[in-house]
Amino acid sequence: MKAVEIKNFSWKYDKARDYALKDINLEINDNEFIGVIGPNESGKTTLMNVIKGIIPQNFTGIYKGDVKIYGDDVAGLSPIEITRRVGMVFADPESQFNSMSVEEEITFGMENIGLGIDEIATRLNNVCRLTDIQNLLEKPPYNLSGGQKQRIAIASILAMQPKIIILDEPTSMLDPISKDMIFDLLKIMKTELKLTVIVVEHNIEQLVEICDKFLLVNKGVIEKYDNTEEFFTNIDFLDSRNVRVPSGIKIINKIGNLNKPKSLPIKFEEIVKVLTKILDKNRSKQYEYK
């Protein structure tokens, strides 16, 4: 069964002149990891809100087409049913907080959906271990570092055990070390928790290492949706859309196009391997000539 299935979908915000999303068709498989990129105001957040059911629940406008989450029409699900299936993390973790201690913050959602005390304790323990926030439980969530706040926001979402997690620019307000910690957590979500992960992120260099597929949204339409390797084959097209293609991929693409191999690596360590081979070959050739 598909995790997300969107068919002929369009959305126009009330009073907006144009549709924010136009004729969207999209399928996301269970346990896939999707990187969503695109220019500002292209419709990325709107698309995430559609998958999470925030649109049409909290917005008025024109809603056309079908949006299904694991086979069910999202517009027909109750807020609790949606919360159980889809979790969402925002750029600003504080926008999610509404409790006076980290522990309350994490248990709040679980109590709301009526989980028992033992289940809440087990889940609390698990998510604190995953996000490394055990020593923060007594503290107010507001007086912490940006990275800690984001890990708390993620912990409270993971505690709900959704099948899909959407993260909308989760590292945009964080320092480099905290960013790395969030990327490590993203890996765990895919490999250990087996979630379907959809992340809007500008840091393509790090996304390339973990995403199965990339989705480019531009002017309200899906311009490109492909496996990561395929996505980065047409560098000229991506340049024309101002996608910041990592330098390693650009270099290997230039060299690769000259040598015409069947497929090109895109992950950092794979690129290093290929370049090392090319350099070694060159060195041994120079040696032969001497």
Ligand X SMILES: Nc1ncnc2c1ncn2[C@@H]1O[C@H](COP(=O)(O)OP(=O)(O)OP(=O)(O)O)[C@@H](O)[C@H]1O
Rounded distance between C-alpha atoms, residue 32 and residue 63, angstroms: 26
Question: With binding defined as CB under 6 A, does residue 175 bind ligand X?
Answer: no
Question: With binding defined as CB under 6 A, does residue 42 bind ligand X?
Answer: yes
Residue with smaller CB distance to ligand X, 74 or 158 = 74
Q: Which residues pair with 183 in a beta bridge?
A: none
Q: How far is the CB of 20 from ligand X (least distance, A)?
A: 4
Q: How far is the CB of 255 from ligand X (least distance, A)?
A: 33
235-248 b/e (C-beta count within 10 Å ≥ 16 → b): eeebeeeebebbeb
61-69: strand order across its sheet = 21-29, 2-13, 61-69, 72-73
Among 10, 13, 22, 77, binds ligand X (CB under 6 A): 13
Among 38, 87, 109, 256, binds ligand X (CB under 6 A): 38
Question: With binding defined as CB under 6 A, does residue 16 bind ligand X?
Answer: yes
Span 45-84, contacts to ligand X by CB under 6 A: 45-46
Q: Which stretch binds ligand X (CB under 6 A): 43-51, 142-150, 239-247, 272-280?
A: 43-51
Q: How far is the CB of 215 from ligand X (least distance, A)?
A: 12
Rounded distance between C-alpha atoms, residue 249 and residue 138, angstroms: 45
Q: How far is the CB of 58 from ligand X (least distance, A)?
A: 9
Q: How far is the CB of 45 from ligand X (least distance, A)?
A: 3
Question: With binding defined as CB under 6 A, does residue 272 bind ligand X?
Answer: no
Q: How far is the CB of 109 from ligand X (least distance, A)?
A: 24
The CA dihedral of 138, 142, 146, 151, to the nearest 10 degrees, is: 50
Residue with smaller CB distance to ligand X, 43 or 170 = 43
Q: Rounded to 5 degrees, what are φ and ψ at 214?
A: -120, 145
Question: With binding defined as CB under 6 A, does residue 170 bind ligand X?
Answer: no
Residue with smaller CB distance to ligand X, 5 or 169 = 169
Sign of CA dihedral 75, 80, 86, 90: positive
List, in order, residues 6 or more apart from 285 with CB less than 8 Å away: none
List, in order, residues 6 or more apart from 98 with CB less than 8 Å away: 105, 108
* Closest-CA residue to 125 (of 107, 151, 143): 107
Q: Which stretch binds ligand X (CB under 6 A): 44-52, 106-114, 133-141, 221-229?
A: 44-52
Q: How far is the CB of 200 from ligand X (least distance, A)?
A: 7
Question: With binding defined as CB under 6 A, does residue 95 bind ligand X?
Answer: no
Rounded distance between C-alpha atoms, residue 209 and residue 138, angstroms: 35
3-state secondary structure 153-171: HHHHHHCCCCCEEEEECCC
Question: With binding defined as CB under 6 A, does residue 43 bind ligand X?
Answer: yes
Q: Which stretch binds ligand X (CB under 6 A): 13-21, 132-140, 175-183, 228-236?
A: 13-21
Interacting residues toward ligand X by CB under 6 A: 13, 16, 20, 38, 40-46
